[in-house]
Structure 1
Amino acid sequence: MAGSRTKQLWLAASRSLNSRTRTRAFSSSPARYSYEDTVQNLRIGKHTRVIYQGFTGRVATTNAKDSLAYGTNIVGGVTPGKEGEHLGLPLLPNLRKAKEQLKPDATAVFVAAPQCGKAIEEAIEAEIPLIVSVAEHIPLHDIMRVASILKTQSKSRLVGANAPGIIAPIGYCRIGFQPLPTFAPGHIGIVAKSGTLSYETVASITRSGLGQSLCIGMGGDIIAGTNMVDALKVFEQDPETEGIVVVGEVGGRAEEDAAEWIRDYLKRTPNPKPIAALVGGIHAPTGRIMGHAGAWAASGEMLAKEKYKVLQDAGVTMVDHPENFGGVLKTLLSQSGRNVNKIMSNAQSQQKRGYHTLRRRPPPSSQRTATTVRQQKRGLLLGTDQIQEPLKPFLSQAEGVTLSPDEAPADSHYLAITVDRSERSPCIAASPTANPSQLGQRVKRFPYDWREGPNDTTIKQALEHMQLDAAPPAAMAQASALIRALSRMYKEKEAVTISGSVSIDTNGGLQLHQPSMTLQFDDAAYKSTQRQSDLHGLRRRANEVPEEVEAETHGIVFVKLEDPEANIGTLVNGAGLAMNTVDALRLQGGKATNFLDTGGKATSETVKKSFELILRDPRVKVIFVNIFGGLTDGAMIAEGVLLAFKEVDMKDIPVVVRIRGTNEEEGQRIIAESGLSLEAFDGFGEAAGRVVELANR
């Protein structure tokens, strides 16, 4: 195990990196290093000097107090226009002064979503090595701009946004809002999209005695500053990480990229660290967002069950519920020849030791490792009869292209402007066929710079893949103009996806088929900043599921699942955990009527409203309340359950409650002493089994 020698090596690496000349951020000249090299900045620990942006805000203040008590080396913070002290630490009016005086290694961005993109940009400009952004609902195009800037520099690394953050339990360094009592110093590295699933995973590993070395929250947004492959590279090189956990979910290609990296890692490494994984959303309905902004599968992306298979085929041990990770990791470590008892003993001995340092020399470039879905209705989705007005001014820029009211013919081509999550940029998505059954195999993405738009070479490559390069010259020119026009619309109107089928008419001209078109726009741009209000004023709530619309007004994410045989209502906190609850019930032989995420800011009233929504479905025969408290207090959830029983007609529907995590003992006591017909359990498997038993009566 690591000892003083390891610490000396890491400190030597730190000194080496400090002495090296690095490229300036925002540099327009060719960089010797790139954003890829900043993965080394994820190695936080006792020596990491942390500042806060938005330091004097209520949430930041509370978080900083907890992190200071935990042992995090917070050295001050920034609030624009203020200077002095806060929490006994320096308070500065801007990042420039903070960088000069406090010499931070990392910044925790506790700034509201409308201003968060700008705050991240300021941190990049100040060359803060690690930037951790926790805010939800940052507009997608704000993050696209941030991502385009990150690619021009090699000093700053972003974690998030919409992520719980990053924590090194060995170094007692927390940058984020993770539930501290759940974590313990140890030797398992974790990367996760979902906060609540990661907390369940951490709790299982803590109970097993293995503890955690470093936990990285990738976040649930469409674009993440740090992805799974970035985390895996750090875990590979970390001498304190003995085993690795990957927690994924529906949406994007992060898990596919991770599987490719893992396959190569297992081939080239004599005694690789064992890796276990979980993928949430196996039974998520296609064409729906599952709580997180990024939890949807675009055309050409794998479904969750396909991600599960590709990880398994790469050599990863798959887990169906996070509660099982601790036992699985102990078995895998033993099978790999590692001394599990020694690992556990060493984890206990490191309660007071922290050695992770931030500054590390990146490896030379020669040593770096290479690495049929319905369209998601995310945010505002316009009906095909609504698209002409917003599309008209942009389509006029593509002279000669006609908007046809006819269905697309069998030989039409697929064209979209959407997101390439792996490249963290917009892209042209193209296919030689628009047949939905073939899109998954034939869609190819051509990423481009958000700031500049697609260039001639990128457009040419897309058209060649669409097999339009043999089309009449007029149609080729029109297709190029159409791509440019749609990319302008994509940026100016803050779209998520603009897609449709195109074909060549009898006169050799290009036509875009209106019935095939999908126009999706970012809801965060409107909800957070009131941008694009003209577009979002077109939303037709009357055509949506009433319970889903009502849930939204209460901060609840509710998705009605259409299986006629489903009869289990679910009430869960956290999108990832809610997806996994639906999946795990299926493994037990049960089917959920709904996906319901109470959200991290749930109250007793929210829980009561959740019961009301669930009970409107006549299919429901039993309700499963599955809570793992990270931000959510277990006692508060229990009080909400009692409130529902007092004020809601429960229709003699049995309720099974599982409360774990924050304040779990008090929550369990409230349920046990309620005198109501509630059944309480600690373990998920036992609780789920009872739920299915009641549902099948």
Structure 2
Amino acid sequence: MIRLLLRGRSGKREFSTTCSRGSYGKTIGNLRIGKDTRVIFQGFTGRQATANARESIEWGTNIVGGVTPGKNGEHLGRPVLPTVREAMEKLKPDATGIYVAAHQAPAAIEEAIEAEVPLIVAVAEHIPIHDIMRIHSMLKTQSKSRLVGANAPGIISAVGKCRIGFQPLPCFSPGRVGIVAKSGTLSYEAASSTTRAGLGQSLCISMGGDVLAGTNFVDALKVFEEDEDTEGIILIGEIGGVAELEAADWIAKYNQRSSNPKPITALIGGVNAAPGRVMGHAGAFTLPGEPDALTKIKRLEKAGATIVRHPEKFGGAMKTLLADYNPPRRNSTSGPLQRRGIHTMRSVRPSLVSHALEVNLNQRRPLYIKESLGLDLLRERGINASEYSGTGRRRMLAIGVDRASLSPCVIASPATDPLSPHVEAKVFPFDYRSGFDKKLVPEVARYLQLGDPYRVSLPKLINGLVDLYMKKEAFLLETLFVERLGDLKVVGANFGFDDAAFRSSKRQEDIHALRIIEEEDPQEVEAEKDGIVYLKFAGDGNIGTLVNGAGLAMNTVDALADAGGEAANFLDTGGKATSETVKKSFQVILQDERVKVIFVNIFGGLTLGDMIANGILLAFKGLEMRLPIVVRIRGTNEEEGQKIVSLDSLSLEL
């Protein structure tokens, strides 16, 4: 229904007001990490945090201690403290890595913000979107803390041997290329490609695949511009939002103002994404009116970025570009990525959460309810609502998420005719904690072209929608309404709610009880039970795909299309694929009678290539498959994995 006006006639994004990042922009410099960066872990004594910290310390990361609520003592030869505030006072960290489960992560992030930790890295997936909006509302009001994530592998300086996150270390080597990416797996592919090309990496920043990111492409590009160790830049985007267009605008201006610009290469995943579907990442979907992948590619190309279609091509492309780049002479008195000073603290409340890490492999997606149920929810709140009778001019009013301002917003359109070539919607962002400003109602009314009698009814409708949106943690509340006897009558409802709020935090059970599983695809529901994101594509696609990582899965579908093939499905086993999830994935794919061949594309990050290879063999034999399988294994233990598969006479791309 919605078509957001992303670029108006003036060429600028249309907003009635701007919720800017304000003083938060002053924290971009906190992204410059290196060998002297002092790091703490929240959830330090948990199993996953312990394994990650031990590996990072051995690599060279300066982890000075950590936080576990209620504990004082020592872990891995480093102090353990009960609160982040105490850790700031005694350990003076520059950064914190948050290693807690999704339902605990919001409180941990807030505790770090209140303690004014300069850099906060949140790796957890599936943090409820309303929690993230509240956190962004806090971040905008301060200038001390910078957030990377959530739903991101973190940030890593290959030059400074500083890892805050769970990036696979064998992929990285000290070098010259800066990487910023939405997709973790594709960023590992890019790192491996530049390592094989002999270029290495300087600093790698994960934007992450969430709907709202703490650090975006432009933030990272600004760091890379000034970083002496970075000579070339890689940008990896995907469908969803406008961050790539904002990056393209920045790149175009950068190339104009710089006499010696650093070369930039880019990849955009999701050219062949299923319309209206969430492609694995929480933010990987395109609302009507948002740019598609091809639009983003064209804008980046026009801005001067070199586009590649597969992450393996990054190394060769960047090597060619850097051959023509003349890096400026370095200032010999300045070392790489020096440690920042510590900010003055203010008092904070102690943490109220347990930081024991719990790994939850269930994938999330928004829950859309039937229109009739949405109308029922409105009537319960005293809003005039019923099905459209066919008479009356329909207008659109919605409450949604504005990815540019990192906040909720009212979306309004005076026309909803799908045949109209220029149906425009205007966005009115508002602060999550303050709520919608009633002073904006007249401007919304004018844009909706409402007459004076109906302007009185508009606040009631807006307030009712905002109340439902906030209390039930909606993702999108889209309504169509008509004017009726001095009142506004809702005649259409497209309501989506955040599944993560229910799955990870057990909130909104009444709303999620409205899900009608019987009306969904049974194979997709079956895969979901095993933590697998499986989407069956319409059409005549006959290639089944099995991939670990949402970004890589999107790129796999695109790569098959580039080669003249057509995928029958999107399948993301998750970033921690196991032999069992691989077997379950094969079972789901084989239920599609259209599939004539299966392409397995695994990048070994946290997932080891040889382990996955053994899982493929077990599934192949246990399921007695007769279909040909093509296997691509890259990354950690790739040679061992390739050897295992090739010895068993499977078809293997080397």
TM over 0.5: yes
Measured in 1, the distance between the counterparts of 2:372 and 2:320 equals 57
Alignment partner of 2:651 out of 668, 679, 688: 679
Contact 1:413 1:431 survives alignment (8 Å): yes
- Deviation for aligned residue 1:618: 1.0
Equivalent position to 2:340, from 354, 359, 381: 359
**CA offsets per residue over residues 67-98 of structure 1, 9 Å max, x none?**
00110000000000111100000011111110
Amino acid at match of 1:532: Q
Partner of 1:512: 490
Say whether the 8 Å CA contact 1:551–1:613 is kept in structure 2.
yes
The residue identity in structure 1 corresponding to 2:177 is: I
- 1:28 alignment counterpart: none
**How does 1:248-647 map onto structure 2 within 5 Å?**
248-337=237-326, 355-359=336-340, 378-394=365-381, 396=382, 402-406=384-388, 411-436=393-418, 442-468=424-450, 471=451, 473-505=452-484, 507-514=485-492, 517-564=493-540, 566-647=541-622
224, 231, 235: which one pairs with 2:224? 235
Deviation at 1:562, TM superposition (A): 0.7
Map 1:217-232 to 2 at 5 A: 217-232=206-221
What SS is found at the alignment partner of 2:284?
A: coil
- How far does the alpha carbon of each residue in 1:240-297 deviate from its partner, in whole angstroms, 9 at most, with x for none? 1111111001111111111111121112112211111111000001110000111111
Shift of 1:680: 1.4
Structure 1 residue 355, shift from structure 2 partner: 2.7
* Contact 2:415/2:423, CA 8 A, preserved across alignment: no
Shift of 1:411: 3.9
Give the 3 Å change call, closer, same or farther, for CA 415–409 of structure 1 in structure 2: farther
Residue 638 of structure 2: aligned partner: 664
Secondary structure of residue in 1 paired with 2:211? coil
Contact 2:413 2:423 in 1 (8 A): no
* Counterpart for residue 21 of structure 1: none
Instruction: Give the paired residue count.
Output: 612
How has the CA–CA distance of structure 1 residues 251 and 436 changed in structure 2, closer, same or farther, with 3 Å as cutoff? farther
Superimposed CA distance per residue, residues 637-656 of structure 1 (whole angstroms, 9 cap, x where no aligned partner): 11111111221131x21001
Query: For residues 511 and 393 of structure 1, what CA distance do their matches in structure 2 show?
Result: 14
* Distance in structure 2 (CA, Å) of the matches to 1:586 and 1:640: 27
Aligned partner of 1:43 in structure 2 is 32
Whole-Å separation in 2 of the counterparts to 1:661 and 1:590: 25
- Shift of the alpha carbon at 1:508? 4.0
Q: Which amino acid aligns with 2:536?
A: K
Do residues 71 (structure 1) and 60 (structure 2) align? yes
SS of residue paired to 1:114: coil
Distance 2:308 2:26 in 1: 31
Contact 2:22 2:140 in 1 (8 A): no
* Residue 457 (structure 1) shift: 3.2
Q: Distance in 1 between the 2:341 and 2:325 partners?
A: 28
Show CA shifts across 1:502-555 (max 9, x none): 2223x34312113xx111000000000110001101111111111110001101
How far apart in 2 are the matches of 1:419 and 1:360?
35
For 1:167-182, list aligned pairs within 5 A: 167-182=156-171
Q: Provide TM-score, normalisation by structure 2.
A: 0.90
**Inter-CA distance 354–524: structure 2 relative to 1 (3 Å threshold):** farther
Q: Which amino acid aligns with 2:596?
A: K
Deviation at 1:579, TM superposition (A): 0.2
- Contact map agreement 1:147 1:225 (CA 8 A) in 2: yes
Q: Relative to total residues, which structure has the larger helix share, 1 or 2? A: 1
How far apart in 2 are the matches of 1:41 and 1:260? 23
CA shift digits 1:157-210 (9 cap, x unpaired): 000001000001000000000000100111111110000011111111111111
TM-score computed with the length of structure 1 as normaliser: 0.85
One-letter identity of the residue aligned with 2:112:
A
Of residues 60, 83, 89, the one that matches 1:100 is 89
Separation of aligned partners in 2, 1:460 and 1:330: 56
SS of residue paired to 1:76: strand
SS at match of 2:434: coil
Contact 2:42 2:97 (8 Å CA) reproduced: yes
Secondary structure (helix, strand or coil) at the match of 1:625 reads strand
2:189 and 2:479 map into 1 onto residues whose CA distance is 41
**Residue in 2 that maps onto 1:195:** 184
Provide the secondary structure at the position in 2 that maps to 1:442.
Answer: coil
Q: Report the CA distance shift for 1:338/1:237 in structure 2 as closer, same or farther (over 3 A).
A: closer
1:299, CA displacement in angstroms?
3.1
Any idea what SS the aligned residue of 1:404 has? coil
SS in 2 for 1:229: helix
How far 1:412 moved relative to its partner? Answer: 2.1
Say what the alpha-carbon RMSD is for the aligned residues: 2.2
In the TM superposition, residue 437 of structure 1 has moved relative to its aligned partner by 5.5
> Cα offset for 1:467?
2.7
SS in structure 1 at match of 2:299: helix
Distance in 1 (alpha carbons) for counterparts of 2:422 and 2:606: 37
Q: Aligned letter for 1:451?
A: R
The CA distance in 2 between the partners of 1:480 and 1:408, in whole Å, is 25
One-letter code aligned to 2:503: K
Q: Distance in 2 between matches of 1:409 and 1:589?
A: 47
Structure 1 segments unaligned to the other structure (5+ residues)? 1-30, 344-352, 363-376, 683-697
Measure how far apart 1:439 and its partner are: 8.4
Question: 1:450: how far off?
Answer: 0.5
| 1:33 positional shift | 7.4
Q: Secondary structure at the match of 1:434?
A: coil
SS in structure 1 at match of 2:552: helix
Map of 1:15 onto structure 2: none
The residue type equivalent to 1:357 in the other structure is Q
Tell me, yes or no, if the aligned pair for 1:291 and 1:597 is still in contact at 8 Å.
Answer: yes
Q: Which sections of structure 2, spanning at least 5 residues, go unmatched?
A: 1-19, 344-363
Which residue of structure 2 lines up, in the alignment, with residue 156 of structure 1? 145
In structure 2, relative to structure 1, the CA distance for the partners of 1:439 and 1:379 (3 Å cut) is farther
| SS of aligned partner of 2:208 | coil
1:388 Cα deviation from its structure 2 partner: 3.2
> Is residue 249–residue 295 contact of structure 1 (8 Å, CA) maintained in 2?
yes
Partner of 2:249, secondary structure, is helix
Matches of 1:295 and 1:403 in 2, distance apart?
Answer: 32
